[in-house]
Structure 1
Amino acid sequence: MKAVVRTNFDDSVSAYDAYEQRTGRFTALARLLAAEMATRADGPFASVLDAGAGTGVSTRVFADRAQRTVALDISREMLRELEAAPRVEADFDHLPFADGSFDGVAFTASLFLVPDPAVAAREAARVLRTGGVVGAVAPLGWVDVDGTDIFAALDRESRSPAGADEVEAALADSFAVTAGTWRFATTAADVRRFHAIPAMAARLYPNLAAEERVAKARDLLEGLEGTVEQRWRWIVGVAE
C-alpha cells in the first residue's frame, strides 16, 4: 500500500501544482489548520513537523509560524520541489524522530491517505511534547446545491483509503480532540482538475494505471457543470 501511495504522488507533482496554482485550496487548508492549532497551543510553536508535506505548500504556511519546520513525505519527487525547509523522506508509521521532538504535528490533507491512521496518530503522539498539538484535515466530498453527493448520480464513489470519521477516531484515541467542517464553493472545472491529479484520481479508480485512471476520471466528470460545495473535516488534538 505504501509503495502504491509513493508512486501515485511521485506521478502527481505537475498536476498537483497546477491545481494548487488554480485554486489555492491546500494553502487555504493549511492556513486554517495552523490557526486552529495555534488557538490550542500553550505558547508559540518552536518546532512543527509537516507530515505529508507534498511539494511544500503547507510547509511554507507553518514555517511562517514556527522557528523550525520539518517537511516529511513518502514521495521523493514531491519533496524535490521544496527547498526552504529540512526535508525527510519517510512514512507516518515510523517517524524518524526522538520522543517529544516537536510542539506541533500537522497532517494537512494527508492522514486519510494511509490505510490505518491510528498507527500514525500514535507516532504523532510519541514525537509531540506534553501539551503539543496535532492537526489533520480529511475530505468529506463534494455536494450540489441540495446537499447531494455529486458522485451519487455517477455510479462511482470518490473514496480515500481512510475516511474522515476514521481519521477523527484515530486521533481521538491518542489526543483530546476538537473537530469541525470547512466548506468551500468550487466549480465543476476545479473538481475535474482535482481528479486530474493521479493520486486523487485513485480515489475513483484505484486499480488503474495513472494515465488510465486520470482519463477515466475526466470522462466520468465531463458532464458536471456549475458550482458545487467541497467539504473538509478538521481535527485538532492536544497531547496529554
Structure 2
Amino acid sequence: MKAVVQTNFDDSVSAYDAYERQTGRFTALARLLAAEMSARVDGPFAAVLDAGAGTGVSTRVFADRAQRTVALDLSREMVRELESAPRVEGDFDHLPFVDGTFDGVAFTASLFLVPDPAVAVREAVRVLRPEGVVGAVAPLGWVDADGRDVFADLERESRSPTGADAVEAALADEFTVTTGTWRFSTTAADVRRFHAIPAMAARLYPTLDADERVAKARDLLDGLEGTVEQRWRWIVGVAE
C-alpha cells in the first residue's frame, strides 16, 4: 500500500504544483491550520514537523510560525522540490526522530492517505513534547449549489483511503481535540484539475496506472460545470 502511495506521489509533482498555482488551496489549508495550532500555544513554536509535506507548500507556511520546521514525506520526488527547510524522506508511521523532538506536528492534507491513521497519531504523540499540538486536515468532498455531492450522479466516488471521521477519531483517542469545517468556493474546472493529479485520480481509479487513471478521471468529470463548494474537516489536538 505505501509503495503504491509513494509511486503515485512521485508521479504527481508537476500536476500537484499546477493545481496549487491555479487554486492556492494547499497554501490556504496550511495557513488556516497553522493559525488554529498557534492559537493553542504561547509564543512561536520551537520546532514543527510537517508530516506529509509534499513539495513544501505547507512547510513554508509553518516556517513563518516556528523557529525550526522539518519537512517529511514518503515521496522523494515531492520532498526534493523543497530547498528552504530541513527535509527527510520517510514514513510518518515510523518517524525517524527521538521522543519529544517537536512541539507541533502538522498533517496538512496527508493523514487521510494512510489506511490506519492511529499508527501515525501514536508516532506524533511519541515525538511531541508535553503540551504539544497536533493538527490535521481531511477532505469532505465537493457539493453543488443545492448541497448535493457532485459525484452523486456519476459512476465513481472520489474517496480517500481513510475518511475524515476516522482521522478525527484517531486523534481524539490520544488528544483533547477541537474540530470544524472549512468551505471554499471553487469551480468545476478546478475539480478536474484536482483529479488530474495522478495521486488524486487514484481516489477514483486506484487500480489503473497513472496516465490511464488521469484520462478516465478527465472523461468522468468532463460534463461537470459551474461553481461548487469544497469542504475540509480540520482537527487540532493538544497533548495532556
Same fold (TM over 0.5): yes
Secondary structure in 2 aligned to 1:154?
coil
Once residues 131 and 239 of structure 2 are traced to their aligned partners in structure 1, the CA distance between those partners, rounded to angstroms, is 5
2:218 corresponding residue in structure 1: 218
Once residues 131 and 44 of structure 1 are traced to their aligned partners in structure 2, the CA distance between those partners, rounded to angstroms, is 14
- TM-score for the superposition, normalised by structure 2: 0.99
2:3 corresponding residue in structure 1: 3
Once residues 172 and 44 of structure 2 are traced to their aligned partners in structure 1, the CA distance between those partners, rounded to angstroms, is 23
1:184 corresponding residue in structure 2: 184
Q: 1:42–1:131: 8 Å Cα contact kept in structure 2?
A: no
**In the alignment, residue 35 of structure 1 is paired with which amino acid?**
A
2:238 corresponding residue in structure 1: 238
Secondary structure in 2 aligned to 1:40?
coil
In the alignment, does 2:39 pair up with 1:39?
yes
1:127-180: CA deviations, max 9, x gaps? 000111000000000000111000010021100000000000000011110000
Secondary structure in 1 aligned to 2:153?
helix
1:91-240 equivalence runs, <5 A: 91-240=91-240
1:4-83 equivalence runs, <5 A: 4-83=4-83
Once residues 13 and 4 of structure 2 are traced to their aligned partners in structure 1, the CA distance between those partners, rounded to angstroms, is 15
1:196 to partner: Cα distance:
0.1
Once residues 187 and 138 of structure 1 are traced to their aligned partners in structure 2, the CA distance between those partners, rounded to angstroms, is 20
1:75 to partner: Cα distance:
0.2
Task: Quote the RMSD (CA, aligned, Å).
Answer: 0.5
Q: Any stretches of 5+ residues in structure 1 without a counterpart?
A: none
Aligned residue pairs, count: 240
1:41 to partner: Cα distance:
1.6
Q: Any stretches of 5+ residues in structure 2 without a counterpart?
A: none
Q: 1:46–1:103: 8 Å Cα contact kept in structure 2?
A: yes
Once residues 158 and 167 of structure 1 are traced to their aligned partners in structure 2, the CA distance between those partners, rounded to angstroms, is 17
1:14-61: CA deviations, max 9, x gaps? 000000000000000000000000111243201000000000000000
Secondary structure in 1 aligned to 2:211?
helix
Secondary structure in 2 aligned to 1:120?
helix
**Identical-residue share of aligned pairs (%):** 87
Once residues 41 and 179 of structure 2 are traced to their aligned partners in structure 1, the CA distance between those partners, rounded to angstroms, is 15
